[in-house]
Amino acid sequence: MKTVKERCRFVVLISGQGSNLRAIVQFCRENNVSADFVKVISNVADAPGIEWAKQQGLPTAIISHRDFASRQAFDVALAELVQQCNPDYVILAGFMRILTKDFVSKFENRLVNIHPSLLPAFQGLHTHARALQMGVGWHGCTVHFVTAELDHGPIIAQAALEVEDGDDEASLRNKVLSLEHKLYPMVVSWLANRQVDVDSTGKVTVRGVASRHLKGYLS
Ligand code: GRF
C-alpha cells in the first residue's frame, strides 16, 4: 500500500518586518514544499509581518508580552498557544524575545532560530557592528536548534560572505539579510521533508544534500 507522508506543520513566531517569514512562505509555495504554516504568531500587535501573513490568508495570532506580569507567565501562555497548533516545528523568524528554559524544553529539537552571525561568534545583539569592529573577514548567518543557552544550540546550516572594505553596518545588515532569505527557506524545506536529524551529542545531519552551507553574497 502506498504511504503518504503527512505534511509538516510549522508555527512561525515573529516580532517585526517578517522578511524571513515571507521568504520562507514564498519559497515553500513556489517549490511545492510539503509545509503548512498553521499559525503566525507575533508578540507585537502592529508587526508588519502579521499584516502580510493576514493578506496571504495565513492564520495569525497576537500575544503581547506586555499583558503578562513576568517572562515566565508570558512563556507559559505562548507555549499553550503554540501547542494548540500541534506543530512539528516552531520557527523563530525575527522573534525578539528571549525564551525561558521551560519554554525551550517543551520543544526540544523542534524549535529553530536564525541568528545574524556565524555562530558561535557574536551571540546576542548588534552582530554586524561588532563584526566590523572586530575586523573579521567573514560574516553571515546561522540557522540552529534553540537550547536554553542564548544563541547556542545545534547548528543546522550557515551562510557566509566576505566582508568588503567599504562595508558599513547597514550594508552588512542588508547583505546578511539577503543570505538569510536564501538559507532559512532551504532549511525549512529540509525540515518539511524530514531530512534533518540531531543525535544525542547535538550533532546535526541533513540527509540527501551535498552541502549544508552557503558561501558568498548572491544579490
Ligand atoms: C533578522 O536579521 C534575524 O536574523 C534577526 O532579526 C531579523 C529579523 O528580520 N533575528 P525579519 O523580521 O525576518 O525581517
For every residue of the chain, DSSP letters joined together read: -PPPPPPEEEEEEESS--HHHHHHHHHHHHTT-SEEEEEEEESSTT-HHHHHHHHTT--EEE--GGGSSSHHHHHHHHHHHHHHT--SEEEESS--SPPPHHHHHHTTTTEEEEESS-TTSS-SS-HHHHHHHHT-SEEEEEEEE--SSTT-S-EEEEEEEEPPTT--HHHHHHHHHHHHHHHHHHHHHHHHTT-EEE-TTS-EEETT-S-S-EES---
Regarding the beta carbon of 142 and ligand 1, being less than 6 Å apart is answered no
Regarding the beta carbon of 20 and ligand 1, being less than 6 Å apart is answered yes
Residues constituting the chain: 219
Q: Would you state the pLDDT for residue 216?
A: 74
Regarding the beta carbon of 113 and ligand 1, being less than 6 Å apart is answered no
User: Is residue 53 located within the same domain as residue 138?
Assistant: no
The CATH number given to whatever domain includes residue 140 is: 3.40.50.170
Establish if 72 belongs to a structural domain: yes
**Angle (nearest 5°) at CA 124 between 81 and 186:** 65
Question: What is the largest distance, in Å, between two alpha-carbon atoms of the chain?
Answer: 60
Q: Would you state the pLDDT for residue 2?
A: 47
User: Is residue 168 located within the same domain as residue 90?
Assistant: no
* Domain boundaries, position 178: 114-219
User: Is residue 120 located within the same domain as residue 205?
Assistant: yes
Please give the tally of structural domains in the chain: 2
Cα of 123 from ligand 1 centre, angstroms: 14
Chosen domain end from 90, 107, 124: 107
- Closest ligand 1 atom to Cα of 14: 12
Q: Would you state the pLDDT for residue 106?
A: 98
Establish if 76 belongs to a structural domain: yes
Regarding the beta carbon of 116 and ligand 1, being less than 6 Å apart is answered yes
Could you read off the pLDDT tens digit of each residue along the chain, which spans 219 residues? 545 679 999 999 999 999 999 999 999 999 999 999 999 999 999 999 999 999 999 999 999 999 999 999 999 999 999 999 999 999 999 999 999 999 999 999 999 999 999 999 999 999 999 999 999 999 999 999 999 998 999 999 999 999 999 999 999 999 999 999 999 999 999 999 999 999 999 999 999 999 999 987 554
Q: Would you state the pLDDT for residue 215?
A: 85
User: Is residue 123 located within the same domain as residue 164?
Assistant: yes
Establish if 1 belongs to a structural domain: no
Residues known to be catalytic: 115
Chosen domain end from 65, 90, 107: 107
User: In the structure grid, which three cell numbers stand for residue 20, read together?
Assistant: 524571513
